[in-house]
Structure 1
Amino acid sequence: MEPLMAIAIGMLYAAAIFLMLRRSIVKLVIGLMLMTNAANLLIFTSAGMTRGAPPLIPEGMLAPEGVVADPLPQAVVLTAIVIAFGVLAFAVVLIRRAYEVVKADDLDMMKDTDT
């Protein structure tokens, strides 16, 4: 399963970089979304993709029984998803305002308004 995920993550990173190198600011934000999703999948994959029980310790024991899931990557990815959503919301508002001022989504046309 890990080699398949590595290929999928590589394709997501490649698509994200390709979109982020385009001149359209909308494609830049879509590439940013793809890059955050690829990073989240990378964290999950690097932590190990084993199915297991919840990491609960039964009463009276010092360690959980059997194979358990690692909760740390899940918590990190959940935090990353929330942060990525906040960045996406800010970027959408910023793009809308920039489009209202410049009347274009081309990054080169936005540079011409700096003077």
Structure 2
Amino acid sequence: MELLLVFLIGLMHAGGVYMLLRRSMFKMIIGLILLGNGANLLIFLLGRLVKGHPPVMADGMKVFTDIYADPLPQAVILTAIVIGFGLQSFAIILIKKVYKVLETDDLDELNSSEEEI
């Protein structure tokens, strides 16, 4: 299972970088989403995939003796998902406004300074 996730993470990062290098702003946002999701999967994989109990210690225990699920990577991923969603929402609204004013999403055409906004 971990090997499958490693290939999926690599594929998501490769697709994200490919989409970031395209000329369309919409494709750039898709690449940003792919990179963010690939990074979240990477953090999740670094926390190890184990079928364990929640990390709650019974009374009188000082050390965990069973396999337990590490909550820290899950909390970091949850925070990253929320921040990524906010960034993606802002970027989509910004692209929508730019497209409404300039009627193009091509980055080469947006780079020219012929028109005043």
What is the TM-score with the length of structure 2 in the denominator?
A: 0.92
Contiguous gaps of at least 5 residues in structure 2: none
Name the residue aligned to 1:19.
Answer: 19
Identity of aligned residues (%): 46
Contact 1:22–1:28 at 8 Å: present in 2 too? yes
Contiguous gaps of at least 5 residues in structure 1: none
Q: Please list, as runs of the form range in 1=range in 2, the aligned pairs for 1:15-54 lying within 5 A after superposition.
A: 15-54=15-54
Q: CA deviation at 1:114?
A: 6.5
Q: CA deviation at 1:68?
A: 0.5
Contact 1:102–1:113 at 8 Å: present in 2 too? no
Amino acid at match of 1:33: I
Runs of 4+ in 1 over 3 A off after TM superposition: none
**RMSD (Å), alpha carbons:** 1.3
Amino acid at match of 1:53: H
Distance (Å, rounded) in 1 between the aligned partners of 2:64 and 2:37:
31
What is the TM-score with the length of structure 1 in the denominator?
A: 0.93
Q: CA deviation at 1:49?
A: 1.2
Name the residue aligned to 2:100.
Answer: 100
The alignment of Structure 1 onto Structure 2 pairs a total of residues equal to 115
Contact 1:54–1:68 at 8 Å: present in 2 too? yes
